[in-house]
Chains A and B, each alone.
Chain A
Amino acid sequence: AQSVTQLGSHVSVSEGALVLLRCNYSSSVPPYLFWYVQYPNQGLQLLLKYTSAATLVKGINGFEAEFKKSETSFHLTKPSAHMSDAAEYFCAVSKTGANNLFFGTGTRLTVIP
């Protein structure tokens, strides 16, 4: 079975500080991993994805995530938070042959000026 755990439903950072959003997955086979961002009253937008190529994945808006198989983690980071990063972030997992993605419960990021 596949599942995703996002630690921390709410994260607050100061503008300019490091952003770290945590995601741990469980999958019996090598997974595909995704981070999506949802701005208020909008749909979800793909930030980045890992599909078994490079373990460090760079996405849009300066975000990146590192796949660590030994830790079953795929944490999302950004070196310097911007006010426009305030949103909800979802981690998702799938695998070869799967019919759909499984989503975490989301982390709401607040950026403090």
Chain B
Amino acid sequence: NAGVTQTPKFQVLKTGQSMTLQCAQDMNHNSMYWYRQDPGMGLRLIYYSASEGTTDKGEVPNGYNVSRLNKREFSLRLESAAPSQTSVYFCASSESRTQYGYTFGSGTRLTVV
């Protein structure tokens, strides 16, 4: 099925470990996003990529890096995981104009112990 694919679905890390969350979309969308979801806080934007070759910080970028590998793929890296990064991470994609809304992946549930 067409859409946004995230891997892995679940991950447990020890404090200080690193990992990369993968995201790929097959809808030929220009823009891609990484959000984190925490109870009572809704979705907060970590980073976004308006088009291939560009990335920009969102609301909560500290502790994260991103790579827009090509038009399809947008990865999120935690260099040194901290317990505060325990969250559910969602990748999304959209046409260039936000009036069309987003298509979301199914999420990655990350626990840092």
* Chain A interface residues (CB < 8 Å from chain B): 9, 32, 34, 36, 41-46, 49, 51, 90, 92, 94-96, 98-101, 103-106
Contact = CB atoms under 8 A, between A and B. Distances in A.
Interface in B26-40: 31, 33, 35, 40
Contacts of B43: 44, 90, 103
3 A-B pairs closest in CB distance: A43-B104, A94-B98, A105-B42
A95 B97 CA distance: 9
A100 B33 contact: yes
Contact of A101 (B41, B101, B105): B101
A101 B98 contact: yes
B74 interface: no
B99 A51 contact: yes
B99 A100 contact: no
B101 A34 contact: yes
B58 A43 contact: no
A98 B104 contact: no
Given A103-B35, A104-B42, A105-B42, 16 more contacts: A32-B99, A42-B107, A43-B90, A43-B107, A44-B43, A44-B92, A44-B104, A46-B101, A46-B102, A49-B99, A90-B42, A90-B43, A94-B99, A96-B99, A99-B98, A105-B41
